[in-house]
Structure 1
Amino acid sequence: MKMYNFFVMSLLLMVVSCTLDKTNYEDEINTAVPEHYEFREVAAVNKDDYKISIEALNGTLYQGYNEIRLKITNTQTNQNTNVSNMTFLPVMTNADGSKTSCPHQYMLDYNVAGQYYAGYSVFTDKSNSKLSWKIYMSFMVNQKMYTIDTAINVQEQTNKNLNMTSFTGNDGEQYFIALVSPQKPQVAENKLVAGIYKYNKPTASNGNFPDPSQFSYTEVSGYTLQLDPRMPEPSMGNHSSPNNKDLTQGNDGLYHGIVNYTMTGNWTLNFIMLNQNGKIIKGTKVSTDFTPGIPGAKSELFIDTLF
């Protein structure tokens, strides 16, 4: 009888623990997972007869992946201007004065229908009292080169479905993985999109600032990101889900796969990143054991999410 009572009490504790965890997840989800689909102005700066407007989703730049749009307006005619060689370079200044950048598209693409220049920036840190961000831009009109810069504010990314990570690979190169979508997953099979980037080690500088060759990043091409999603909380037993699909590169340069979330809560996206030749750049396999009461082990390469 005593053993029976002990079993019942243990079972009730497990149920209560799981319920409390789930309730906390739902409280955080309700306040931390907005969806942004509208581009709004982040900053604007004038140069001679031209106004340069920087736009992002929700009018906010976040730590992690950001779609960027630039619009050039002739202030004399109030008309959008089609310029050439539109460049975009984010530079971060640390408290000691040192300068770094982040994965970004340096030469922007012109969207004819929308009359804007499109690119992206993966900001690696948020703005604070010890570091600041500035955007350096240039463009040509009638064979005349214009250069301009403006300070911007990068905010903390509160949506954990858009987290990112940076690491040094087994090949000695510095890599970045940034989640792009879904912004707000469902309990279902979700299309998972991520950007993978590598820092290009600079050679000799041309002596001018900013020198783009000192802040160069490229999209990683032809890699594979093997995916093993799991719920690492002790109450969840490190369980995974079926029908997930590894991420491979699409025509847009981003990496596309499928993640199957079977319930709300904390999930860890465990990765193994392989190069074009199938060599492991980073990541380790995760145990498939069911481990109730014990936190689930994570891969050497992972990103935590919450929905």
Structure 2
Amino acid sequence: MAQGNSTEVSEFHLLGFGVQQEFQHVLFIVLFLIYVTYLVGNVGIILIIKTDSRLQTPMYFFLQNLAFVDICYTSALTPKMLQSFTEENNLISFWGCVIQFLVYATFATSDCYLLAIMAMDRYVAICKPLQYPMIMSQTVYIQLVAGSYIMGSINASVHTSFTFSLSFCKSKNINHFFCDGPPILALSWSNIDINIILDIVFVRFNLMFNGLAIIFSHIYIMVTILKMPSTAGRKKSFSTCASHLTVVTIFYGTLSYMYLQPQSNNSQENMKVASIFSGTVIPMLNPLIYSLRNKEVKEVLKVIGKSFVKLDTVVKTTQQSN
């Protein structure tokens, strides 16, 4: 990382949300409950897929990694955001800001690639079912997931290095609830042309490349589904794709709003709301959308529920006999 006046900055002040005190308490409770919900939901997905032999397929392997990525990048944001509702001086150290930015950028980018990989996986499964085991072999799907993490790491490392090598002015106030790129660049008096170029090359490329891959995959999928003779087959395939498209539309739409529009002071508060949506609400929806609309996962959950009922019956019977 290049050295500049940025090393003189020991901490930043996160301004958070400009709302009244009573609303801050309400936001804290709501966002805390959302955070707990998606932690339980995503950890539950990981454990269910890991332990049940019926779910050892590429689709569920991708879903397992998507849940892990969601946990990582939301946990980089939410605890500090919740802290901003309880403290007047919501400070974060310089290196704490660097680490938060790096972790968020790494896993948010990986999330984009994983969603594109999942779309291509569904394309192969629906459009080329006989060739699916050969095309989507264990080696291939592990390499695809590893590639998503590598792309996320490269994107985050480049952005972090160039962002935090800038010289910052005396103001330490970041107009956000976490260390995001645009509000940090607003504090610098250095020439940020290279940062803008990197933003265009990396962020827009990642969003547009993956977005186009998802769009074309689903176009081919829809054409194939419409040609299916079986109504049940069309319904099952469409249900799976609808779940994925729901997640993709919300996620990419929010990120595009955040990073593909010109930055302005008037849009900063809207950017905070969009950040909450992408960082907390969407990860909570992922396990609900993928699990409740998925037959195999619902069957596993029913088995687990019956096991708990039997266990509870055995415990009660044992207590009564004693």
Q: Normalized against structure 2, the TM-score is what? A: 0.29
Q: Normalized against structure 1, the TM-score is what? A: 0.30
Q: Which structure carries more relative contact order (alpha carbon 8 Å, separation 6+)?
A: 2
Q: Going by fraction, where is helix more abundant, 1 or 2?
A: 2
Q: Going by fraction, where is strand more abundant, 1 or 2?
A: 1
